[in-house]
A and B are shown apart, each in its own frame.
Chain A
Amino acid sequence: MSEVRPVPLNLRNSRILPIRFEYYEPTSLDEALELLDKLGEEAKVLAGGTDLIVKMKMRALEPKHLINLKRIPNLNYIVSDSESIRIGALTTWSDLEKSDIVKNELPALYDAVKAMGSLQIRNMATLGGNICNASPAADSAPPLLVYDAKVKVVSKQGVRVIPLTEFFLGPGVTALRSNEVLTEVVIDKHNVSVGSAFVKISRVATDLAIASAAVMIKLKDGILEDVKIALGSVAPTPVRAKSLEAALVGRPAKLEEVKQYLNLLEKDIKPIDDVRGTAWYRREVSKVLVYDAFLKALNRLGGCSL
């Protein structure tokens, strides 16, 4: 056996960015879309850089063109009206953290913000970046999934609005086309409940999730009228636990009740072994995370029916 293999260890150099690329700094969305349309697959868009630059250092991505979106105005906002809450793609995690809208109306997302990364990372990382990076462990994903969020993606050809459930296709793979930019996250108000929460388990305080879960519930007369459950880091993409949701709708909002059906989670998740945890552990602990998120969500509704 004889072969030549250039190896990852020699290719990696986290002190520098060991690859060259063309760099663009569009100052309008149109300009950015024009560039993307022209450069296609070989271009990547840069937002906070906390995932992209690291992947480039690791040589997991070697784009020939880098389009920095940060000089484009008006992509950083959080607005709420009677219909919906809209968050601009370049909104940083620190902006989310400081937003009363997020804190009061989207408590599961707020939990995720507090659980994500370091203060420095939150200053850099954007919500759009977290979604487009499409890590199965993305902290924003489970909360946004339980709020049935949609993303607005734009290209020269026009605008598409994609439900988040259809956006994630695999680890690092999304429905975003190479000429599109994700510009906004939209959450319809009728999908939102204060009875929502996110919990995460990780090795240390600043870490990717071993597993995470978000729950959103709406109650009517002590009965679960609406239940949304989503998990992170237990499947190739962040996932909704639809089997469990279906079983719980119409049931009394009691933890004992929830507990009985937790095994249904196994139908919705496909965890793997990796360096952060085993598939077995993820499967077991997912149930606890959903349970904990439920408890937290119930408490936020006034702590009824414990």
Chain B
Amino acid sequence: MKRVVRFKLNGEYVEAEVEPNELLINLLRDKLHLTGTKYVCGIGECGACTVLIDGKPVLSCITLAVDVNGKEVVTVEGVSKDGLTPVQEALMEEGAIQCGYCLPGFVVMGEYLLKERMEVSEEELREALRGNLCRCTGYVNIVKAFKKAFEKRGLKS
């Protein structure tokens, strides 16, 4: 039986009719046309579908759409609504961009980490990003970019 979910998406209130078996990733991509969130593994192993729910990064491929009722969801499209984030800028500047399929997940993680933590060591960064798989970059320039974004914010990385 269909249900109506109401939630805040990238700063705006939205309402959608969903089946209980509908996944958040498909609600975002197919019905709300926010295709930045990527399907890669479908089983919560790769991080490409990461979105923020109530400020915390979670995996939209294993989240039921009905479950976001009353919550706040931020996708990669919402992260840069008011201009590029320091992580996005740094990813561009540090040569961290190759095929780009994993990037939305990293960008969402960046948004969270920059808000959540005042400083991070490289080890902590690598631990925090271990749920986001990339096959192109070996993570070197991605980690470099994250470090730079933390530095840029005026705090020591």
Query: Are A and B in contact, CB atoms below 8 Å, in the complex?
Result: yes
Interface of A toward B, CB cutoff 8 Å: 14-23, 25, 46, 49-50, 53-54, 57-58, 66, 68, 70, 94, 114, 117-121, 123-124, 205-206
- Report chain A residues within 8 Å CB of B1: 22-23
How many angstroms between the C-alpha atoms of A70 and B68 in the bound complex? 11
Contact in complex: A17, B44 (CB < 8 Å): no
How many angstroms between the C-alpha atoms of A3 and B13 in the bound complex? 53
Residue in A closest to B20 when the chains form the complex, CB atoms: A23
B102 CB to closest chain A CB, in angstroms? Answer: 13
Contact in complex: A206, B131 (CB < 8 Å): yes
How many angstroms between the C-alpha atoms of A17 and B61 in the bound complex? 9
Contact in complex: B109, A119 (CB < 8 Å): yes
Residue in B closest to A66 when the chains form the complex, CB atoms: B20
- Report chain B residues within 8 Å CB of A123: 56-58
**Contact bitstring B17-39, A, C-beta under 8 A = 1, else 0:** 00111110010000000000001
Contact in complex: B109, A17 (CB < 8 Å): no
How many angstroms between the C-alpha atoms of A140 and B43 in the bound complex? 20
Interface of B toward A, CB cutoff 8 Å: 1, 3, 19-23, 26, 39, 41-45, 47, 50, 56-59, 61-64, 66-67, 109, 127-132
A118's partner among B20, B47, B61, B67 (CB-CB below 8 A) is: B47
How many angstroms between the C-alpha atoms of A101 and B128 in the bound complex? 22
A64 CB to closest chain B CB, in angstroms? Answer: 11
How many angstroms between the C-alpha atoms of A270 and B117 in the bound complex? 43
Contact in complex: B20, A50 (CB < 8 Å): no
B42's partner among A14, A114, A206 (CB-CB below 8 A) is: A14
Residue in B closest to A68 when the chains form the complex, CB atoms: B67
A-B contact pairs, 29 of them (CB 8 A): A14-B61, A15-B26, A15-B39, A15-B61, A16-B26, A17-B22, A17-B64, A19-B21, A22-B20, A23-B20, A23-B64, A23-B66, A49-B62, A50-B44, A57-B62, A68-B64, A68-B66, A68-B67, A117-B131, A118-B47, A118-B130, A118-B132, A119-B128, A119-B130, A119-B131, A121-B131, A123-B56, A123-B57, A124-B58
- Report chain B residues within 8 Å CB of A20: 19-21
- Report chain B residues within 8 Å CB of A57: 42-43, 62
How many angstroms between the C-alpha atoms of A17 and B63 in the bound complex? 10
Q: A20-B19, A124-B58 are in contact. Are A205 and B130 (CB under 8 A)?
A: yes
